[in-house]
Amino acid sequence: MFSVGTPEMIVIAVIALFVVGPKRLPEVLRGLAYVYKNFMKAIEELKRELEEDLEEVEDINPKKQIEKKWKEILEEDEDREDKEKRPK
């Protein structure tokens, strides 16, 4: 994306000071911080929901289901062989 360094922040602050004025600047900055905080919270929630949906889709993936079933079969065979090797 893009990055905003210190010089850019100073230029933005000076422009905001001229546009908004020194009396309303703290109020406007608080409002912007509130909007930014809620925006980031919404983005995180959206990310979480998308990750959950992707996990559900991966569970439906036939290749994953076959691999999972194959592992279960192999484990059952190993368990059966272990039981047969034990002395009675």
Q: What are the pLDDT digits (tens) for 10-61? A: 888 889 888 988 889 889 889 989 999 999 999 999 999 999 888 877 777 7
d(CA 38, CA 16): 22
| 37 within 8 A of 45, measured Cβ to Cβ | no
Helix or strand (DSSP H, E) at 63: helix 62-85
pTM: 0.51
